[in-house]
Structure 1
Amino acid sequence: MGGKKQEKKSFRSKIAAVKRYLPLYFMMLPAMAYLLINNYLPMSGLVLAFKKYRARDGIWGSEWVGFKNFSFLLKNKELPILFRNTIGYNICFIIVNMVLGVILAILITEIRNQKFRKFAQSSILFPFVVSIIIVSYMVRGFLDPEAGLMNHILEAMGRDPVSWYDVSKYWPGILIFVNTWKSVGYGCILYISAILGIDASLFESASLDGANKFQKIWYITLPFLKPTVITVALLSIGKIFNSDFGLFYQVPQGSGLITNVTQTIDTFVYKALTTHSDIGMSAAASFFQSVIGFLLVMIFNAITNKISKENALF
């Protein structure tokens, strides 16, 4: 009898918990629906990577070709350049955005005026929500060979104007700068949230012990930022074989003279898709990128697990 009463009590407590959190479950439904429709249902299309897709036959009726679609990318003579650009830029983006994001987050949280702090937070995040198409026109306004601001500045300094869209050596710096300006705000907001979550008594205790501002940052702020930094880094590493298509396609304005430093796997596949209309080839490239990204996340998470188990994702 006692066991049955205990089971009924446990069941009632579970029902009460469900009723208590029911509003939160309803709030979660739109996000779950988005993930299901946008992230999980399209996974059935992965089969296209192994088929010669024909619209009249449909996905399931198209001819199975195995790994033939992957040979388009893996046997391409431009593959070393594509890998160099895709991975190299992403490594630079991760390092620059992480370091600059942490520095800006610390500086913003040191602002005592609440209104100015909110303004700084909004300003740093604003570029993140700006369309990359608008950004490409802004860059064009600076770099246009005839009417661009940069050439006007060079002429005022007595130097010859530069045809920016024809000279590849400037573009690694340009792309890193544009990506940093547009993306650093997102990580910065995450770091600010982590800093604001630190117990204020720790800083007060450090002040009583005679610690200066730099020592507080080094021994309190940065250690508490460590889990957030590791999480952001691991998520970024998962996308290291993917590139920001808008950044590498829209910003260079499709200039063919600088493709050796602006073409990545994504832009190459897009151009090949528009030329050959081979959907299976495009699906194979995306599948390849996803698999490599997954493996990298698993490897780096395992390394993190060995070094600092409490900061690993799983």
Structure 2
Amino acid sequence: MMAPALIVLLMNNYLPMIGSAIAFKQIVYSSNSFIQSFLDSEWVGWENFNYLFSTTDSATITRNTLMYNAVFIILNLVIGVTLALLFNAMRSRRLAKFHQTTMFLPYFLSMVVVSYLVYSFLNPEIGIINKFVLPWFGGEPVDWYAESKWWPFILPIINTWKGIGYYAVIFLAAIIGIDNEYYEAATIDGASKWRQIWSITIPLIRPVIIILTFLQIGRIFYSDFGLFFQVTRNSGILYDTTLVIDTYVYNSFIVSGDIGMSSAAGLYQAVVGFVLVLASNLVIRRISKDDALF
């Protein structure tokens, strides 16, 4: 029964790892066959990685990637759990389902659609913010796509709005699975709602919180390409605060056709993510062995 799933996992997740060897080669297209071109290409060792780290933008893209994803992880955890608790506390199940569906809907939207929605708000001339909101408060119009200082706040808001429904539903499913007898016993003992949340709900959904956090930490060196490329309209003026590893690879390597350096960047992201998951699991294991993944 497991064979079909294992075959798909092998073909989709493990066989492509052979392509990691491209990161150590200088690919030269010498024939119509890519495999033959790969075999004929010269091994260059760590040269592709040296170029990635020696560029003047390496510190900026690494900082942006780490900082944004760290903020995303914190917001997804805190707001996701909070919304799940609020949904669970709603007395009307019908209204609760309506709000869950409403919150979940943006998760299915393409980043292309989201980028146009954001543009309708931030358009310098006819955007809702500049045309209605700022004048209402007596503020001056802002050229959002020409001033990078605003985007460390804009991007987390957009990312949270789009994906928080997914995390809220997962946390809510974990909360619903808690046996009501715990709450009944706590109520008899005189525990308040807040006390029940801190002493019963949070500890019992802690494994789910840890797993979701691990999954996000594993991709902390990956960025949502659509968020940083489409939503920012790839504006070069904003690169100081919006350029991350994925958009840098696209602009510098994929557009130029150098798949060796692109593969080097991808392998670098995967290895760092793997190491971070191991390190995080080690920390959790020292704090609470039962909550560690392995």
CA deviation profile, 1:126-155 (whole Å, cap 9, x unmatched): 111111110000000000011100001212
Q: Does 1:51 align with 2:20?
A: no
1:6 match: none
Q: Do 2:254 and 2:262's aligned partners in 1 also have CA atoms closer than 8 Å?
A: no
Residue 84 (structure 1) aligned to one of 63, 80, 103: 63
Distance in 1 of aligned mates of 2:119 and 2:11:
36
Shift of 1:233: 1.1
Report the TM-score when normalising by structure 1.
0.88
Distance in 2 of aligned mates of 1:274 and 1:61:
21
What are the within-5 Å matches in structure 2 for residues 70-109 of structure 1?
Answer: 70-109=49-88
Q: Does 1:68 align with 2:42?
A: no
Question: 2:45 is paired with a residue of what secondary structure?
Answer: coil
Following TM superposition, the consecutive aligned residue runs of length 4 or more in structure 1 with deviations greater than 6 angstroms are none
Residue 160 (structure 1) aligned to one of 140, 157, 164: 140
Q: Does 1:300 align with 2:280?
A: yes
* Structure exhibiting the larger radius of gyration computed from Cα positions: 1
Give the residue type in structure 2 aligned to 1:289. Q
Distance in 2 of aligned mates of 1:151 and 1:137:
16
Give the residue type in structure 2 aligned to 1:112. R
Shift of 1:39: 1.9
Residue 277 (structure 1) aligned to one of 240, 257, 260: 257
Distance in 1 of aligned mates of 2:111 and 2:140:
29
Q: Does 1:243 align with 2:217?
A: no
Q: Does 1:313 align with 2:287?
A: no
1:190 match: 170
Q: Does 1:257 align with 2:237?
A: yes
What are the within-5 Å matches in structure 2 for residues 211-230 of structure 1?
Answer: 211-230=191-210
Once the two structures are overlaid, the 10-residue window that deviates more, 178-187 or 98-107, is 178-187
Total equivalences in the alignment: 288
Shift of 1:34: 4.3
Structure 1 residues 117 and 137, CA gap change in structure 2 (3 angstroms): same
Question: 1:191 is paired with a residue of what secondary structure?
Answer: helix
Shift of 1:61: 2.6
Shift of 1:33: 5.0
Give the residue type in structure 2 aligned to 1:127. P
Give the residue type in structure 2 aligned to 1:60. L
Report the TM-score when normalising by structure 2.
0.94
Shift of 1:92: 0.4
CA deviation profile, 1:13-39 (whole Å, cap 9, x unmatched): xxxxxxxxxxxx38x83x545433332
Give the residue type in structure 1 aligned to 2:21. V
1:16 match: none
CA deviation profile, 1:50-100 (whole Å, cap 9, x unmatched): 111123242233211111111121111111111110000011000111000
2:213 match: 233
Residue 104 (structure 2) aligned to one of 111, 125, 128: 125
Distance in 1 of aligned mates of 2:138 and 2:46:
57
Question: 2:205 is paired with a residue of what secondary structure?
Answer: helix
Q: Does 1:41 align with 2:15?
A: yes
CA-atom RMSD in angstroms: 1.5
Distance in 2 of aligned mates of 1:311 and 1:302:
11
Question: 1:276 is paired with a residue of what secondary structure?
Answer: coil
Structure 1 residues 216 and 113, CA gap change in structure 2 (3 angstroms): same
Q: What is the percent sequence identity of the aligned residues?
A: 45
CA deviation profile, 1:183-234 (whole Å, cap 9, x unmatched): 1122211111110111110001111111111111111001112111111111
Shift of 1:276: 2.4
